[in-house]
Amino acid sequence: MDPLNAVGLAAGILQFVEFTAKLVNDGRQIYHSAQGATLENCDLEAVTQSLVVLTEGISRYHTRYDSKGRLQNSASDIDAPTEQSINKLGTSCQDIAKELLDALEQLKAPNNRSRWESIVEALKTVWARSKIQELRHRLDQYRVAIHTALLVSTRIDMSNMTADIKKLRRKDEMGILKAEVLEAVQRCRTESIPGNYGGYAHIMRSLEKMTAKEKDLSMQARLLQQLSFQDQPEREHRIVKAHAKTFRWIWTDPTGQLNKPWSHFPAWLEGNDDKLYWMTGKAGSGKSTLMKYVVHQERCDESLRRWSGQMPLIVTRFYLWNSGSEHQMSQEGLIRAILHDALSQHPELIPKVLSKRWQRYQLFGSDVRVWKTSELEESFEALAKSAEGSFKLCLFVDGLDEFNGEHDLLIRLFRMAISFPNVKACLSSRPWPIFEEAFEQEPSLRLEDITYPDIIKYITDHLTANTGYAALRRKEPGFSSTLIENIAKKSSEIVFPTFN
């Protein structure tokens, strides 16, 4: 026998020996197995059956829930591409798994099997091994694909939940969101593929953080609701909007004016030296209209942002009104409005400014007590104190003379606020002695000394639009001019509708 044939024969004998050894080993396992199958096939069957159950659960889940993890409400709901992919992968995975289970079932020996029958089934197992390995390989590929798709789907769920939290931040729907987040956490725990919990650990932690954040947002929303009162913006809505050309002078530098000058308002807004600006004037001179005009002008915001620099800016406004409700003329209403306005802009300050209420909410979930003046004063001081190094706060308050309490208490309240760094206040009132004494050294303006040209402008614009006055001007030009001047002079003695 030549060497090559000898080597070929030896290789064939070796393969036959290995085949026989494998056949005998598989036959022994089948003979002694309660299931009539090899240990490898039994293990593979158990894993495959488990995978079938899981993929069926995934399919049911993604049929019942949309891409945000919410129950489908109608047949018109359409799955997102990721959900459709998961459904297709799940279906394909189930098909291959069932094909593999059928193949494994055919390789089982009967319960009352003989040794020869065990050898026969072992022979089938050896011959079918390549097919089983192919199915197993395809099944593993689908399993990995499903795992990846589930991770993508969960990431989308988290992104959608984060977006929903941002949308609901100012709404009274936090309880619903909390339930959705907790439900998503529970689903992740109960419906994940066994052995993949480590891959979802970061998702679980993120969802738990979202739940804690949602709880904080819910408490913030409820505390802001407690601070607000129904007629809070009513007074501002009732103030007549300024004439288009009225009050433009407030943005100019009064230096060099021959008549009684006023303190440069933009310089005060942008500066750090003076903390209080006082607008005063007779009843009907236009203080409230000026205050409303100023706070809604972009130039005011631009000047204040130059003052705040890189620090966050909080601007609040309130109009005291003795013809309104108790809240609109009281210290309680004033402080509640300022706190509500400021904390709505920066809710993260609530735990620090409303510390006692915040602690009670954390412990008991609510605090139904009515606001006490002492608690509000403490919170107002905490807000002003918090501005140091954190943000800049500018308060606009109109109508101090319409306050229904002791005016010196009101003065002390604002003196306290502006004593802290980064806080300033623009206040308006009639020129009563108590306010004259308190604010005479502060930057200020006296409205009736400045608005006379604006009154002339307003009267002229309205009269010239009247056909009767136009005819009078043609016939009596001197008298028509005198008429405008007389009306302007009289307007300082009555409530002029342009301004208040």
Comparing 185-194, 259-268, 431-440, which segment has the lowest mean pLDDT? 185-194
**What pLDDT score does 278 carry?**
97
For residue 401, the 8-state DSSP code is G
Instruction: Say how far apart CA 305 and CA 312 lie, in whole Å.
Output: 9
Number of other CB atoms surrounding residue 466 within 10 Å = 10
**What pLDDT score does 15 carry?**
47
**What pLDDT score does 416 carry?**
97
| 1 has pLDDT over 80 | no
From 176, 178, 200, select the one nearest 189 (Cα to Cα).
Answer: 200
Q: What is the pLDDT of residues 56-95, one digit of tens each?
A: 655 554 454 444 444 444 333 434 566 666 667 667 766 7
Burial of 154 (0-12, 13-18, 19+ CB in 10 A): buried
Residue with tokens 């509500």: 340
| Confidence band of 488 (pLDDT split at 50, 70, 90) | confident
**What pLDDT score does 338 carry?**
96
**What pLDDT score does 452 carry?**
72
| 375 has pLDDT over 60 | yes
Amino acid at position 41, single letter? N
| Confidence band of 125 (pLDDT split at 50, 70, 90) | low
Residue with tokens 């310089």: 267
| 411 has pLDDT over 90 | yes
Amino acid at position 481, single letter? S
**What pLDDT score does 20 carry?**
45
**What pLDDT score does 272 carry?**
92
Comparing 55-69, 126-140, 421-435, which segment has the lowest mean pLDDT? 55-69
Tokens standing for residue 7: 């080597």
Question: Which residues are within 8 A (CB) of 392 and not within 5 positions of it... i.e. 6 or more apart?
Answer: 304, 307, 308, 311, 312, 313, 314, 422, 423
Comparing 70-84, 313-327, 385-399, which segment has the lowest mean pLDDT? 70-84
Cross-strand bridge partners of residue 425? 276, 395
**What pLDDT score does 314 carry?**
96
Cβ contact 390:383 at 8 Å:
no
From 494, 337, 289, 326, select the one nearest 403 (Cα to Cα).
Answer: 326
The pLDDT > 90 percentage for the chain reads 31
Q: What is the pLDDT of residues 241-293, one digit of tens each?
A: 876 677 888 998 888 665 667 999 999 999 999 999 999 998 888 899 999 99
| Confidence band of 170 (pLDDT split at 50, 70, 90) | very low
| 7 has pLDDT over 70 | no
From 341, 337, 294, select the one nearest 314 (Cα to Cα).
Answer: 341
Phi, psi angles (nearest 5°) of residue 373? -60, -40
**What pLDDT score does 385 carry?**
95
**What pLDDT score does 152 carry?**
62
- Dmax of the chain from CA atoms? 144
Question: Which residues are within 8 A (CB) of 488 and not within 5 positions of it... i.e. 6 or more apart?
Answer: 452, 455, 456, 459
Q: What is the pTM of this model?
A: 0.57
Sheet holding 276-280, edge to edge: 313-319, 392-398, 423-429, 276-280, 444-446
Residue with tokens 């359409």: 78
Locate all alpha helices (DSSP H) within 65-114, ordered by sequence.
81-106
Average pLDDT value for residue range 123-135: 60
Q: How far is CA 379 from the centre of its chain?
A: 24
| Confidence band of 493 (pLDDT split at 50, 70, 90) | very low
Average pLDDT value for residue range 183-188: 59
From 224, 234, 448, select the one nearest 342 (Cα to Cα).
Answer: 224
Average pLDDT value for residue range 188-208: 55
Element (H, E) at 427: strand 423-429
| 167 has pLDDT over 60 | no
Average pLDDT value for residue range 405-414: 95
SS3 for 160? helix
The pLDDT > 70 percentage for the chain reads 56
Average pLDDT value for residue range 147-158: 62
Domain ranges of the chain: 3-167, 234-450, 455-491
Instruction: Say how far apart CA 405 and CA 196 lie, in whole Å.
Output: 67
Question: Which residues are within 8 A (CB) of 250 and not within 5 positions of it... i.e. 6 or more apart?
Answer: 265, 290, 293, 294, 445
End-to-end CA distance of the chain: 124
Amino acid at position 241, single letter? K
Q: How far is CA 207 from the centre of its chain?
A: 16
| 486 has pLDDT over 60 | yes
From 231, 185, 239, 224, select the one nearest 379 (Cα to Cα).
Answer: 224
Give CATH for domain 234-450: 3.40.50
Per DSSP, the residues of 124-153 read HHHHHHHHHHHHHHHHHHHHHHHHHHHHHH
**What pLDDT score does 480 carry?**
76
Q: Dihedral sign, CA of 339, 344, 350, 354?
A: positive
**What pLDDT score does 242 carry?**
75
Greater model confidence, 295 or 133:
295
Question: Chain-wide mean pLDDT for the chain?
Answer: 74
Tokens standing for residue 134: 């192919």
Instruction: Say how far apart CA 133 and CA 299 lie, in whole Å.
Output: 76
Greater model confidence, 470 or 335:
335
Beta strand 392-398 with 423-429 is parallel
